[in-house]
Amino acid sequence: MVFLTPIVMQRTALFVTFGGVVTSLITTFLPLWKTMNSDLNEVENWFSGLWHTCLYTEEVGVQCKAYESIMGLPMDLQISRVLMLVSVGTGCSALLAAIPGLEGVGMCVGQPGLKRRLLILGGVLSWVSGLTTLAPVSLVAYTTVVDFWDEGFPDVMPRWEYGEAMFSGWFGGLALVIGGTLFFVAVCMRDYDQRPASVPNSPQAKHRTKHYLKTEVL
């Protein structure tokens, strides 16, 4: 395809990775990881995130309160906090590493080997960022499902359900993984375009070459 060039693939990978980093950053601080609606009191809606809990009522609106103690949080939220911060940090590092390695950027000029290594590093960091986003979101989703179907709770007791931030976290993690993969594809495409011209080494080609030489001598 004419439009599928290494430069286009690099720009696409950068755009997808940037979108994944922004989505993961928003997901980290969004208080919509879990939601809870009570059938006994339908005017109250509870929202829970990694950093605070919010209550929505029609009279007052949204009221949020930060968690008082880190040690008092469930283990899944503690792990998710650390992994999401690692995800945002590695995602930003992936962008910083990949930008100098892009073709057409006036950085590392005349050093194609360095540009290639920077793109590979950006792809690896984007992969790490994507996995560290998918892991905490999936962990919280698993614990939410386990608690929701726990038969030890009374049926009338409200239970936590998936919030919008869970889906945005999965989307951001997948975008980061796809962006890292596109960086690897861009490197492979560039290596393919810069490959040396092939020299015929087959026995038939060598035989024909010797025959031409004998003909010239005769």
pLDDT score for 156: 65
Query: What angle separates helix 75-98 from helix 6-29, to the nearest 10 degrees?
Result: 150
CB 131 within 8 A of CB 181: no
Tokens 């911060």 belong to 85
pLDDT score for 2: 52
* Six-digit token string for 27: 């997901």
Sheet of strand 161-162, all strands in order from the earlier edge strand to the far edge: 61-66, 52-57, 44-48, 34-37, 161-162
pLDDT score for 146: 86
* Six-digit token string for 157: 């007791």
CB 85 within 8 A of CB 27: no
pLDDT score for 169: 94
Residues composing the chain = 218
C-alpha angle 46/165/99, rounded to 5°? 150
CB 130 within 8 A of CB 180: yes
CB 139 within 8 A of CB 79: yes
CA 61/CA 63 separation, integer angstroms: 7
Instruction: Return all residues near 122 (Cβ < 8 A) that are at least 6 apart.
Output: 13, 17, 94, 95, 97, 98, 101, 180, 183
pLDDT score for 136: 94
User: Cβ of 164: how many Cβ atoms within 10 Å?
Assistant: 13
Mean pLDDT by 10 residues, the chain (218 residues): 76 94 94 79 80 84 83 86 95 93 76 85 95 94 84 71 90 96 90 64 51 42
C-alpha angle 178/180/183, rounded to 5°? 110
Among residues 125, 134, 143, 121, which one has the least CA distance to residue 77?
143
